[in-house]
Structure 1
């Protein structure tokens, strides 16, 4: 295959890798800075919620911004602002001292980063169909590799984050995050791809709000998109607290930052293998069967983790969780990309993402206080049992049968 044809796709994948790695480092660093300060799971939940609560509105706006301003431009602006939000941590520490880095400041900066990140992710995802066509790849293949790249970022990011915290400290680790975002900007800046520049204004509504409403209406009236949105909302709400609060709380109490990095790496390694394997799996197993199997397996694995077994078993189960979760994102992407018209793609991706992000704060509101009051074991069970119920319920959802329709 001609390298020039693959160039845009490779640049897009590299940008996703760098931006994802920056977010992966933040995933470890922000909770660690809070827990190292006072050991409170509630405070860690506050910062984690600050990193997810803005995502609901931000992703809706991001989808409209991509359609209105152009995909390349939005990707670069988003990464620049995300990089500034994490670089502010060491800058404030150098200027005013470490005492300024309290829960409120960390929550504010995490919230700013979360507000900017969705625009970059949405912009890169909406460029994927054209990049795949240019490279001569099928959409399933491109989505599989793209999501594997994203998971690879969360192998590199948390792993490096845990090691850097152990050697440099949580504050200076944020410099690495800022550099990762800067590298993503450079990759997108040299990318040239049809449909990534200024959009055709004639195909857009008069106002941004009208555009957002149009995207919401499209998703609501599309049965399979609507069902997937609510399934993703529930699964995300049950999964995010485990990764963002419960595992950090468990390993902070044990003063084991490197082990936290290993667990998050195991989740991402499993996700990497699962996402890459989907390109092959999709030829042998229906999308519906893949989705139902993933949800059921997630419930079982999370239930065993709830009993806080030895570290090797936690690592193995985390890898299983990532493995079965890996194919889900390529399926979501495929449905959005094939159901939405080109001029609506950004807003449809934004609507779907915002509904999933809405569940994160709800799960964190419950998980943090419950972990402080009842312990990690009870809190893990409170997340894993509903995940099992969700998997069983998915078997009977008729809309999921449309996943395999052309």
Structure 2
């Protein structure tokens, strides 16, 4: 039975994911309804990408020097405020393109450091509770899959019973509740070990931790944050792309999958269902994918030892490709939902595997830098995918856009299967020890 810090971590993660999954359905629909232009929606995502990237790097700088639990709580509260302001502004002045940019940037200040802080806490929580990291990543992915079923379905229900923008109040509430759950984690969780003892300490050789109050503030003086962020970016890029061929290849694969999926979820499907007069189906579509991910993640958690990592990897890639091609044909709703479920089914094991590689290959002392840089890069990849989808819709219409995205997914699959770095995934103890030091091209 889960207890202690593990349970509280999962509750906080689930609440945050629930709010984000609701917002992920509602915000594109609100944006399309207010602007009436798919290309404008894609342009907005691209405009916000660089400021979001900067926030991600600054967040990574903070996380290697300040209490990660405190950063997580504060970030959730900022996210709640940014989302709550959307219906407030809409009711008083009306939402415009400029308001979407301003509130999107405010949300990035909270979302990016908070997401990275929660990721950085996960291995520490596992170590504290004596939980196997690989199995816990699979269990966490299963919970995430469950949330991606309930959240979008709830969003579809909310859109059906209230004005679309008012559904964001639920997201704000979830973010506040996530902050409260994170605040209950044990005091020592998230504290950063000092790199050197202070001269005035009575026990010079004892390890120190930075407390969430005065010591944390002293560890991150404002005047050095920019310099630190530059160092974090350098360290993070070096950790992600320079030390392990496996980590480098898995990160690049994640980027390719993320770009195509963001095109689908961020603009293509909302525009497709809005054009069909059934915007609420956007949430149900994502829920269908979540059902598949839940089943796939549970199967991987229970059966991960029955097959090698390479076998799971190949099966997952091929299965995801089948689902993506089915989606690209944009068939009638039942077949479209079935394709989404197939994609999710095989994405569950793949997501758990890639998550395990990220946590297992990153060194403890650079975890904040690496994960902060990784999440910041996702904030560029995602908007690029949304902009790509909006550009394709404006140029060649939605039906042709689906075929192009299916072709891109096939290309990503072929490259991943042929990658030398993704052939030996450390299944054997003898190779696992050297995998983290492996060098080579993807």
- Give the TM-score normalised by structure 1: 0.91
Task: Determine the structure 2 residue equivalent to 1:249.
Answer: 271
Task: Determine the structure 2 residue equivalent to 1:239.
Answer: 261
Offset at residue 51 of structure 1 (A): 6.5
In the alignment, the residues of structure 1 paired with residue 325 and residue 307 of structure 2 have an alpha-carbon distance, to the nearest angstrom, of 26
Task: Determine the structure 1 residue equivalent to 2:364.
Answer: 342
| Matching residue within 323, 344, 348 for 1:301 | 323
Superposed CA deviations along residues 45-98 of structure 1, whole A, max 9, x for unmatched, are 2344467655433333333222111210110111111111100112213333xx
| Matching residue within 70, 75, 79 for 2:72 | 75
Task: Judge which range, 224-233 or 148-157, deviates more.
Answer: 148-157
Task: Determine the structure 1 residue equivalent to 2:166.
Answer: 172
The residue correspondences of 1:67-146 to structure 2 (distance < 5 A) are: 67-96=64-93, 100-146=94-140
Q: Say whether residues 1:218 and 2:239 are aligned partners.
A: yes
In the alignment, the residues of structure 1 paired with residue 170 and residue 144 of structure 2 have an alpha-carbon distance, to the nearest angstrom, of 18
Offset at residue 313 of structure 1 (A): 1.0
Q: Say whether residues 1:159 and 2:153 are aligned partners.
A: yes
Task: Determine the structure 2 residue equivalent to 1:36.
Answer: 33
Say whether the 8 Å CA contact 1:148–1:272 is kept in structure 2: yes
In the alignment, the residues of structure 2 paired with residue 19 and residue 52 of structure 1 have an alpha-carbon distance, to the nearest angstrom, of 21
Return the index of the structure with the highest Cα Rg.
2
Task: Determine the structure 2 residue equivalent to 1:24.
Answer: 21
Offset at residue 333 of structure 1 (A): 2.5
| Matching residue within 229, 245, 249 for 1:208 | 229
Q: Say whether residues 1:366 and 2:360 are aligned partners.
A: no
Alignment gaps of 5+ in structure 2: 198-218, 433-442
| Matching residue within 41, 56, 60 for 1:59 | 56
Distance 1:202 1:195, change over 3 A: farther
Say whether the 8 Å CA contact 1:248–1:260 is kept in structure 2: yes
1 or 2, which has the higher helix percentage? 1
Say whether the 8 Å CA contact 1:131–1:193 is kept in structure 2: no
Offset at residue 378 of structure 1 (A): 1.0
The residue correspondences of 1:298-337 to structure 2 (distance < 5 A) are: 298-337=320-359
Offset at residue 112 of structure 1 (A): 2.8
In the alignment, the residues of structure 2 paired with residue 349 and residue 272 of structure 1 have an alpha-carbon distance, to the nearest angstrom, of 24
Say whether the 8 Å CA contact 1:144–1:278 is kept in structure 2: yes
Segments ≥4 residues shifted beyond 6 Å: 203-206
- Give the TM-score normalised by structure 2: 0.84
Give SS of 1:321's match.
helix
Offset at residue 249 of structure 1 (A): 0.6
Superposed CA deviations along residues 191-234 of structure 1, whole A, max 9, x for unmatched, are 11644124425499983322331222222222111111111111
Say whether the 8 Å CA contact 1:272–1:326 is kept in structure 2: yes
Alignment gaps of 5+ in structure 1: none
In the alignment, the residues of structure 1 paired with residue 62 and residue 147 of structure 2 have an alpha-carbon distance, to the nearest angstrom, of 25
Task: Determine the structure 2 residue equivalent to 1:285.
Answer: 307
Give SS of 1:375's match.
helix
In the alignment, the residues of structure 1 paired with residue 406 and residue 240 of structure 2 have an alpha-carbon distance, to the nearest angstrom, of 28
- What count of residue pairs does the alignment treat as equivalent? 400
Q: Say whether residues 1:398 and 2:392 are aligned partners.
A: no
In the alignment, the residues of structure 2 paired with residue 275 and residue 52 of structure 1 have an alpha-carbon distance, to the nearest angstrom, of 30
Offset at residue 319 of structure 1 (A): 1.0
Please report the RMSD computed on the Cα atoms of aligned residues, expressed in angstroms: 2.3
Superposed CA deviations along residues 367-406 of structure 1, whole A, max 9, x for unmatched, are 1021123111111111111211221222221111342242
In the alignment, the residues of structure 2 paired with residue 117 and residue 187 of structure 1 have an alpha-carbon distance, to the nearest angstrom, of 16
Offset at residue 332 of structure 1 (A): 2.4
Give SS of 2:307's match.
coil
Superposed CA deviations along residues 213-261 of structure 1, whole A, max 9, x for unmatched, are 1222222222111111111111111111101111101111122132221
In the alignment, the residues of structure 1 paired with residue 325 and residue 405 of structure 2 have an alpha-carbon distance, to the nearest angstrom, of 8
Q: Say whether residues 1:271 and 2:268 are aligned partners.
A: no
Distance 1:52 1:212, change over 3 A: closer
Offset at residue 115 of structure 1 (A): 4.2
Give SS of 2:185's match.
coil
Say whether the 8 Å CA contact 1:166–1:257 is kept in structure 2: no
Say whether the 8 Å CA contact 2:69–2:183 is kept in structure 1: yes
Give SS of 2:65's match.
helix
Task: Judge which range, 221-230 or 279-288, deviates more.
Answer: 279-288
In the alignment, the residues of structure 2 paired with residue 328 and residue 355 of structure 1 have an alpha-carbon distance, to the nearest angstrom, of 20
Offset at residue 363 of structure 1 (A): 2.2
